Structure 1
Amino acid sequence: MNVIETKQLSKSYGSAQIIKAIDLSVKEGELFGFLGRNGAGKSTFINMLTGIIYPSSGTYSLLGVKGPNDQVKKRMGVMPDYSTLYSSLTAMEHLKFLSALSGNSASKVRCKEVLNLVGLQNHGGKKVGKFSFGMKKKLGIAQAIIHDPKIIFLDEPTSGLDPESAITIQKLIQNLQKNGKTIFMTSHNLHEVEKICTQIAIMKDGQIIKIGTMDELRAFYRSKITVKIKHSPIPKAEQLTLYEWLESAGSDLTKEVNSLTITVDDEKKIAEMIRAFNQCKVDIFRVEVEEPSLEDIFLDE
């Protein structure tokens, strides 16, 4: 089931078209990473899906219901990239107040349960104004899930956090997905998205230019597989033959003492290289393969 679906969804302000006829489907239970440089249109796109702004054209549906729809809004949670926290309230008061505003008033037991889920179980009576940045991020996620939504939108959930706090938030997000939630998140942390997201889309100038799993995205960039080989000394009589073959098989050949690095366009070339070394009576001690990272794919947009 597609819990998020857009058809030719567009948004313009005057003559400026910010979102350009996007068709997108997100399946139930996905942890969907939505990437793009600043100004690419990510926030505008999310704001349309969450009902903050209206599309100029096209349609979208959430949980099979055409949006915007007030009943569907009660089944989604949103953590925006700007603070909506009230410093004068305690964490417990904050959750009760915001859940009441949404029409899904949470009990004290539910508030405690959610605070425990995000790791704030010992801070329910503490005023939000005294929270650290990382604690506020956790509370932001708590307010997004207090009413047990089916879809959760997270805008930069780990931005500005130290590595330890970021890992804690990442594990929390993964646990939400494992518990059946569909999560749509933006992030500038490419390593984070590569590590935890099941599907990834990259937006540029209001359009989605790449989409798929990490393996699917890599498949488009396998022309840049870097192979590092550590080997025994190459007999002088075999050096010319072996090096000429390697140069014909790949590019950017770099030779060092008993090791070399080469870029190939097909992983089948790796097996061919190993056979060529064996034919030249050269032992291979280690083969390291560096496939394109999400950063490589993102920067190649």
Structure 2
Amino acid sequence: MIAIETKQLKKSYGAVPIVNGIDLIVEQGEIFGFLGRNGAGKSTFINMLTGIIQPSSGTYLLLGIKGPNDQVKKRIGVMPDYSTLFGSLTAVEHLKFLSALSGKPEAKERCMEVLQLVGLESHAHQKAAKFSFGMKKKLGIAQAIIHDPELIFLDEPTSGLDAESAIHIQKLIDHLHKRGKTIFMTSHNLDEVEKICTRIAIMKEGQIVKIGTMDELRSFYRSTMTVKLKHSPISKSEQVKLHQWLESAGTDIEMKDSYVTLNINNEKKIAEMIRAFNQCKVDVYRVEVEEPSLEEIFLDE
């Protein structure tokens, strides 16, 4: 079953496009990561899917139902990044109130169970006005899952949390995934995305520019690697032969003193390079490979 399907979904304010024609399919049971710089349109896209704002054009379906639809809202959970809480209500009171709004009022026992899942059980009866930013974030996640939704939207679920709390929330997301939930999340934490997301989309200037699994995206961005090789002196009789071989193996070749640098498109060429140097009676002392960092892969598209 398809959890989310959008066709040419757009949102503009005046003449300024924020989300510019997105076609996307998210299968049920995925943890789908949605990445992009601030201002790329990620939150606007989620706000359209969750009925907070209306699209300018295009269509979308949630759990097979065309949106916007009030009934499907009961089957989804939403934690916006700007979670607004009632300062006079305790954590438990928030969950009882939100679950009642969803049409599935929960007893105190269920509320306490969810607060334990997010790590807030010891603050269950504390008023939200006294909560830290991280505690508010955890309560926002609790609100998103209190009514046991099938599809959960999490906007930056671990931003602002300490390392221990972030790991706790990541384990919770994994727990929800194992229970068959579909999770659509934005994040600036690239290590987190690599660790828990089954598929990832990169958004830039209102459009999805790349989509795939972690391995697929890495494969795309690693089409070129820079190899720097330190070696023993090359005899004059072998220099021309070795240079000709390097020209056939890669591009942007530099030969300086005891170093050779070139770009290759397949890591198998590294082993071939070493063999070629050995055949020319040149010892290889060190091989360095430069590849894109995670930040370059995901945010420097």
- Pairwise same-fold verdict (TM > 0.5): yes
Identity of aligned residues (%): 74
Equivalent residue, structure 1, for 2:55: 55
| Alpha-carbon distance in 1 for matches of 2:78, 2:192 | 19
Of 232, 235, 251, 1:234 maps to 232
Gaps of 5+ in 2: none
Give, in angstroms, the shift of residue 252 of structure 1: 6.4
Contact kept in structure 1, 2:41 and 2:205, CA below 8 Å:
yes
Equivalent residue, structure 2, for 1:187: 187
Equivalent residue, structure 1, for 2:155: 155
Contact kept in structure 2, 1:218 and 1:291, CA below 8 Å:
no
Give, in angstroms, the shift of residue 60 of structure 1: 0.5
| Alpha-carbon distance in 1 for matches of 2:246, 2:158 | 44
One-letter identity of the residue aligned with 1:279: Q
1:298 aligns with 2:298: yes
CA separation of 1:278 and 1:178: change in aligned 2, threshold 3 A: farther
| Alpha-carbon distance in 2 for matches of 1:83, 1:193 | 22
| Alpha-carbon distance in 2 for matches of 1:188, 1:83 | 18
Give, in angstroms, the shift of residue 98 of structure 1: 1.5
User: How many residues align structurally?
Assistant: 299
- Equivalent runs, 1:99-248 vs 2, <5 Å: 99-227=99-227, 234=232, 236-237=234-235, 240=239, 245-246=245-246
| Alpha-carbon distance in 1 for matches of 2:129, 2:260 | 56
SS at match of 2:17: strand
| Alpha-carbon distance in 1 for matches of 2:85, 2:169 | 18
Contact kept in structure 2, 1:88 and 1:127, CA below 8 Å:
yes
Contact kept in structure 1, 2:86 and 2:129, CA below 8 Å:
yes
1:267 aligns with 2:267: yes
CA separation of 1:246 and 1:88: change in aligned 2, threshold 3 A: farther
Give, in angstroms, the shift of residue 171 of structure 1: 2.3
| Alpha-carbon distance in 1 for matches of 2:87, 2:288 | 51
Moved more, 113-122 or 275-284: 275-284
CA separation of 1:271 and 1:70: change in aligned 2, threshold 3 A: same
| Alpha-carbon distance in 2 for matches of 1:249, 1:154 | 46
Equivalent residue, structure 2, for 1:23: 23
Gaps of 5+ in 1: none
Give, in angstroms, the shift of residue 243 of structure 1: 6.7
Moved more, 243-252 or 23-32: 243-252
Spell out, residue by residue over 1:156-196, the C-alpha distance to the aligned partner (whole angstroms, 9 max, x if none).
11222233332322222222222211111112223322332
TM value normalised by structure 1: 0.87
SS at match of 1:154: strand
| Alpha-carbon distance in 1 for matches of 2:76, 2:190 | 25
| Alpha-carbon distance in 2 for matches of 1:295, 1:72 | 36
RMSD: 2.8
| Alpha-carbon distance in 2 for matches of 1:191, 1:263 | 27
CA separation of 1:261 and 1:178: change in aligned 2, threshold 3 A: farther
Give, in angstroms, the shift of residue 294 of structure 1: 3.5
Equivalent residue, structure 2, for 1:13: 13
Equivalent residue, structure 1, for 2:85: 85
Contact kept in structure 1, 2:232 and 2:284, CA below 8 Å:
no
One-letter identity of the residue aligned with 1:121: E
TM value normalised by structure 2: 0.87
| Alpha-carbon distance in 2 for matches of 1:167, 1:258 | 46
Spell out, residue by residue over 1:87-145, the C-alpha distance to the aligned partner (whole angstroms, 9 max, x if none).
22221111111211222211112111111111222221222233332222221111100
Give, in angstroms, the shift of residue 73 of structure 1: 0.4
Contact kept in structure 1, 2:37 and 2:299, CA below 8 Å:
no
| Alpha-carbon distance in 1 for matches of 2:92, 2:258 | 63
CA separation of 1:192 and 1:284: change in aligned 2, threshold 3 A: farther
CA separation of 1:262 and 1:179: change in aligned 2, threshold 3 A: farther
Contact kept in structure 1, 2:274 and 2:284, CA below 8 Å:
yes
| Alpha-carbon distance in 2 for matches of 1:221, 1:25 | 23
Moved more, 26-35 or 83-92: 83-92
